[in-house]
Amino acid sequence: MTQGKSLQEYAKLSSDETLTKINSSKTGLTEQEVHKRLEKYGKNVITSTKQQSMFKVFFTNFTSMMAILLWVAGFIALMTGTPELGIAIWLVNLINGIFSFWQQYRAQQATSALQKMLPNYVKVIRDGKTNKVLAEELVPGDVVLLASGDNIPADGRVLSADSLEVNQSSLTGESTTVNKEIDIQTSEDLKNVGQYAEQNLVYEGTSVVSGSGSFIVLATGMTTEFGQIATLTTSVTDVKSPLQKELDILTRQLSFIAIVIGVLFFIAAVFFVGYPWAKAFIFALGMVVAFIPEGLLPTVTLSLAMAVQKMAKKNALVKHLNSVETLGETTVICSDKTGTLTKNEMTIEKVWLPIADYAVSGTGYEPNGIVTKADKKIELSEESDLLQLIRIASLCNNSAIEEKDNHYQLVGSPDEGSLLILADKADYDLGDEKTNYPRQNELPFDSKRKRMSTIHRNNKKYYVFTKGGITEVLSCCQSYLKNGQILTLDENSKKQILAQNDTFAKSGLRTLAFAYRSLGSDEEISVSNCEQNLIFVGLTASQDPPRENVIQAIQKCHDASIRIIMVTGDYGLTAESIARKIGIVKGNDVRIITGDDLAAMSDDTLKDNLRHEVIFARVAPEQKYRVVSLLQSLGEIVASTGDGVNDAPALKKADIGVAMGITGTDVAKEAADMILTDDNFTSIVNAIEEGRTVYNNIRKFLLYILNSNMPEAIPSLLFLLSKGTIPLPLTVMQILTIDLGTDMLPALGLATEQTEAGTMKKPPRKRTEHLLTKQIILKAFVWYGLLASIISIGAYFFVNHLNGWPQVALATDGTVYVMATTMTLAAIVFCQIGAVFNCRTQKQSLFKIGLFSNKRILGGICFEIILIVCLMYVPFLQKLFGTTGIQFQDWLFLICIPLPLILIEEIRKKIIRKA
Give me the active site residues, please.
336
Instruction: State how far the Cα of 30 lies from the Cα of 28, in Å rounded to an integer.
Output: 7
- Rg, Å, the chain Cα set: 36
Among residues 775, 783, 712, 779, the alpha carbon closest in space to that of 743 is found at 712
In terms of DSSP bridges, do strands 674-676 and 656-660 run parallel, antiparallel, or are they unpaired? Answer: parallel
What is the separation of C-alpha 750 from the centre of its chain, rounded to a whole number of angstroms? 26
Instruction: State how far the Cα of 655 lies from the Cα of 637, in Å rounded to an integer.
Output: 6
CB 557 within 8 A of CB 366: no
Angle of the 621-633 helix axis to the 603-610 helix axis, nearest 10: 70
Indicate the DSSP class of residue 478.
Answer: E
Our separate counts of H helices and E strands in the chain read 39, 28
Among residues 604, 611, 617, 615, the alpha carbon closest in space to that of 569 is found at 617
- DSSP-derived 3-state class of residue 616: strand
- DSSP-derived 3-state class of residue 276: coil
CA distances in angstroms from 551 to 84, 663, 764, listed in the order given: 57, 21, 20
**Burial classification of residue 753, based on how many CB atoms lie within 10 Å of its CB (0-12 exposed, 13-18 middle, 19 or more buried):** buried
CB 823 within 8 A of CB 889: no
Cis peptide preceding 806, ω within 30 of 0: yes
Residue 680, phi then psi, degrees to nearest 5:
-105, 125
CB neighbours of 720 closer than 8 A, spacing ≥ 6? 265, 268, 269, 272, 273
Among residues 282, 287, 280, 279, the alpha carbon closest in space to that of 257 is found at 287
- DSSP-derived 3-state class of residue 620: coil
Instruction: State how far the Cα of 677 lies from the Cα of 312, in Å rounded to an integer.
Output: 9
Report H helices in 24-127.
31-41, 54-60, 65-79, 83-107, 113-117
Report H helices in 451-510.
470-474, 491-506
DSSP string, 98-124: HHHHHHHHHHT-S--HHHHHS-SEEEE
Instruction: State how far the Cα of 423 lies from the Cα of 431, in Å rounded to an integer.
Output: 11
Among residues 27, 7, 91, the alpha carbon closest in space to that of 740 is found at 91
Indicate the DSSP class of residue 135.
Answer: G
In terms of DSSP bridges, do strands 534-543 and 614-617 run parallel, antiparallel, or are they unpaired? Answer: unpaired
Instruction: State how far the Cα of 41 lies from the Cα of 2, in Å rounded to an integer.
Output: 10
CB 593 within 8 A of CB 614: yes
CB 206 within 8 A of CB 167: yes
What is the separation of C-alpha 496 from the centre of its chain, rounded to a whole number of angstroms? 46
SS3 sequence of 291-353 = CCCCCHHHHHHHHHHHHHHHHHHCCEEECCCHHHHHHHCCCEEEECHHHHHECCCCEEEEEEC
SS3 sequence of 659-676 = EECCCCCHHHHHHCCEEE
Q: Give the DSSP H or E segment for 480.
A: strand 477-482
CB 512 within 8 A of CB 543: no
Residue 663, phi then psi, degrees to nearest 5:
-90, -10
Q: Which amino acid is at 126?
A: R
CB 689 within 8 A of CB 311: no
